[in-house]
């Protein structure tokens, strides 16, 4: 059901670098899982509304300032930084 | 002395600490010694905070001496699944992509345990990003089941379950997205509760699937779980999904008979795929519930068979979105491949390919696919509609009964390696647990007996009984579980380590 070209397309969307062997394995595994998932098409869902999350109502808090991380704390785990910013490869010349 | 000490339940320990028959420092030291001696076989702990735990224990002793205990958990040694952010203690979610990540803050459940005086021993193993049912999806050593070291502890909270079963701690926090507290609790012979969606804050918990994830307690008995739940439950302004529902005293007035309690036995939980010995033990426990005064009634949850398929669409879709944050920019692993680092996209793709294990990649791929243009309606939207049908099944059943009761897992613990090459067979381990997540309901697993593994010399393997309740009615589950676990008397039966 899923071929290697589709695997490559999904991997691009998901930002995952895959080797050819991994593409091959995933094509087989995803096809098998989607084959199982096909059983859902046997259920008549006409006029059934979707449920995105359980009905337990969430509540937004009031929009007031509360203490947050300092820049130093936020940057403490950064793989690379410049001054008080996260550093990444250049995207513009 | 120390063996008997560690075989106390959390509730028993709590009483002895307050009566000053035991000190938190000696109990904590006994746990650290126990971990030293058995964890090389069990592999439950990823890292210990011995110094921190002993300091917390001494502080607890000072409070207990002054009769100023903060809660029933004051001085009680606990463990945390490695996806709970604890300030200053590395938190990896069992993944290489978060190796070295040291949270600058405590998640809410952890903060509440600390405020209650609990002693935090360290972080325990899990399936990577909580994706798995055996603890084998890990770049680290897989956890071994204390009842039979050739078998899995279940997952994804397998380190939590194994540590509690092996007497390496008195309780642990886990998370449950499709059965990740209840299934390992069942396979390791302990109790585990997935509370109602919204009952416990997820702030500071590494996210897997946000419409399903819930934090819960794992300990040797349901009574112990109730004590832990009372501490961690309740509204948290930092988690918009945490509900504005008062936290009751879970144990007040419980115990005694079960007269008037109506329990539904879903016929779909006793069909094909259920191990005959698991069925025997569960049915024997049902008889005991009846003898305690409960009435049993067969009910039907007709969409149960679609639960796993719907779950694997919803959960992977949400995971593909949640895990997009792991990109090597702000924390965790970043690729060192010079070629990849020439572009931002290359850095993303290689960082993620190096950092995520095979099951996590598989789920990100599946989730990305079901959300992608042209497939959204056929998969994601359809799964959400099936979710409605599963919710309605429960609503109909709860018209007639107060709670649902059945097996937690279709089989006892399976062999390490037995299902690793077949993702689908692994997924089916959650056949009876995923529905409660899809519907947002509380589910409790308690030990109810033993099966013997006839294939290899008759080792005793624990069997779990699951109770599923109405939203925010965890108390009903405890009400049924408390007299049953006393009747069964399994809380002090130790694994042969």
Non-local (6+) Cβ contacts of B488 within 8 A are B285, B288, B447, B448, B449
- Banded model confidence at residue B358, pLDDT cuts 50, 70, 90: very high
Q: Which domains does chain B have, with CATH numbers?
A: 2-261+401-488 (3.90.1300.10)
CA distance B165 to chain A (A): 32
Q: Which fold has domain A1-40?
A: Histone, subunit A (1.10.20)
* Distance separating alpha carbons of residues B251 and B80, to the nearest angstrom: 24
**B180 in active site:** yes
Contact A58 B382 (CB under 8 A): no
CA distance B468 to chain A (A): 15
Is B386's Cβ below 8 Å from some Cβ in A? yes
**B156 in active site:** yes
* Distance separating alpha carbons of residues B279 and B241, to the nearest angstrom: 36
Residue B459 main-chain phi, psi, to 5 deg: -65, 140
pLDDT above 60 for B455:
no
pLDDT for res B252: 93
pLDDT for res B435: 98
User: Per-domain residue ranges for chain A?
Assistant: 1-40
Chain A, chain B: beta-carbon pairs less than 8 Å apart = 181
Angle made by CA atoms B408, B409, B411, in degrees to the nearest 5: 145
Query: Roughly what angle, to the nearest 10 degrees, separates helices B24-42 and B50-65?
Result: 150
Of B160, B180, B201, B409, catalytic: B180
B352 C-beta neighbours (distance < 10 Å), count: 25
Q: Which among B176, B173, B143 has a CA at the least distance from the CA of B158? A: B143
- Banded model confidence at residue B61, pLDDT cuts 50, 70, 90: very high
- Specify burial of residue A93 (Cβ count, 10 A radius: 0-12, 13-18, 19+): exposed
**B16 in active site:** no
Residues 179-218 of B with CB under 8 A from A: 196-198, 210-211
Contact B303 A43 (CB under 8 A): yes
Average pLDDT over residues B331-340: 97
Nearest to A56 among B243, B324, B327 (CB): B243
Question: What is the ipTM, given to two decimal places?
Answer: 0.96
Q: Which among B491, B456, B459, B465 has a CA at the least distance from the CA of B147? A: B459
- Banded model confidence at residue B255, pLDDT cuts 50, 70, 90: confident
* Distance separating alpha carbons of residues B182 and B417, to the nearest angstrom: 21
B168-216: pLDDT as tens digits = 999 999 999 999 999 999 999 999 999 999 999 999 999 999 999 999 9
Of B11, B14, B71, B156, catalytic: B156
B227-254: pLDDT as tens digits = 999 999 999 999 999 999 999 999 998 9
Contact B328 A79 (CB under 8 A): yes
Average pLDDT over residues A69-89: 96
Nearest to B388 among A29, A48, A79 (CB): A48
pLDDT for res A57: 60
């Amino acid at each position: 059901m899923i071929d290697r070209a589709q695997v490559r397309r999904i991997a691009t969307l998901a930002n995952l670098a895959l080797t050819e062997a991994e593409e091959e394995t995933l094509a087989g595994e995803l096809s098998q899982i989607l084959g199982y998932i096909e059983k859902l098409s046997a259920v008549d869902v006409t006029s059934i509304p979707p449920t995105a999350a359980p009905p337990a109502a969430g509540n937004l808090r009031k929009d007031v300032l509360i203490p947050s991380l300092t820049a130093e704390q936020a940057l403490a785990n950064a793989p690379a930084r410049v001054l008080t910013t996260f550093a990444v490869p250049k995207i513009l010349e | 002395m120390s063996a008997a000490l560690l075989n106390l339940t959390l509730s028993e320990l709590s009483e002895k600490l307050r009566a000053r028959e035991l000190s938190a420092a000696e109990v904590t030291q006994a746990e650290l010694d126990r971990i030293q001696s058995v964890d090389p076989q069990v592999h439950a702990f990823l890292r210990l905070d011995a110094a921190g735990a002993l300091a917390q224990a001494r502080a607890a002793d000072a409070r207990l001496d002054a009769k100023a205990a903060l809660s029933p958990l004051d001085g009680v040694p606990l463990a945390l699944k490695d996806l709970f952010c604890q300030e200053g203690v590395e938190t990896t979610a069992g993944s290489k992509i978060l190796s070295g990540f040291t949270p600058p803050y405590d998640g809410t459940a952890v903060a509440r345990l600390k405020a209650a005086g609990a002693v935090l021993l360290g972080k325990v193993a899990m399936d990577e990003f909580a994706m798995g049912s055996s603890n084998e999806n890990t770049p680290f050593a897989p956890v071994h089941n204390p009842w039979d070291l050739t078998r899995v502890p279940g997952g994804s909270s397998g380190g939590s379950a194994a540590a509690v079963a092996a007497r390496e701690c008195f309780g642990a926090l886990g998370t449950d997205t499709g059965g990740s507290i209840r299934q390992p609790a069942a396979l390791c012979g302990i109790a585990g509760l997935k509370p109602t969606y919204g009952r416990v804050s997820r702030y500071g918990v590494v996210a897997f699937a946000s419409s399903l994830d819930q934090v819960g307690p794992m300990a040797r008995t349901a009574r112990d779980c109730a004590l832990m739940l009372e501490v961690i439950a309740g509204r948290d302004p930092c988690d918009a999904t945490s509900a504005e529902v008062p936290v009751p005293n879970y144990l007040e007035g419980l115990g005694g008979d079960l007269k008037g309690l109506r329990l539904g036995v879903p016929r779909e939980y006793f069909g094909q795929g259920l191990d005959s010995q698991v069925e025997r033990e569960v049915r024997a426990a049902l008889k005991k519930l009846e003898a305690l005064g409960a009435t049993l009634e067969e009910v039907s949850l007709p969409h149960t068979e679609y639960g796993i398929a719907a779950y694997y669409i919803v959960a992977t879709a949400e995971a593909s979105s949640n895990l997009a944050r792991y990109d090597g920019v702000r924390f965790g692993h970043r690729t060192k491949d010079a070629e990849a680092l020439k572009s931002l996209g290359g850095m993303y793709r290689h960082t993620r390919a190096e950092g995520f294990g095979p099951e996590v990649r598989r789920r990100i791929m599946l989730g990305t696919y079901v959300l992608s243009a042209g497939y959204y309606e056929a998969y994601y939207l359809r799964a959400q509609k099936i979710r409605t049908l599963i919710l309605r099944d429960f609503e109909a059943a709860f018209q007639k009964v107060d709670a649902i009761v059945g097996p937690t897992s279709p089989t006892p613990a399976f062999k390490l390696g037995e299902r690793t090459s077949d993702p689908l067979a692994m997924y089916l381990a959650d056949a009876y647990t995923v529905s409660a997540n899809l519907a947002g309901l509380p589910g409790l697993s308690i030990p109810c007996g033993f099966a013997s593994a006839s294939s290899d010399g008759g080792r005793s393997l624990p069997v779990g009984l699951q109770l599923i309740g109405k939203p925010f009615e965890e108390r009903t589950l405890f009400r049924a579980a408390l007299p049953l676990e006393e009747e069964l008397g399994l809380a002090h039966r130790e694994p042969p380590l």
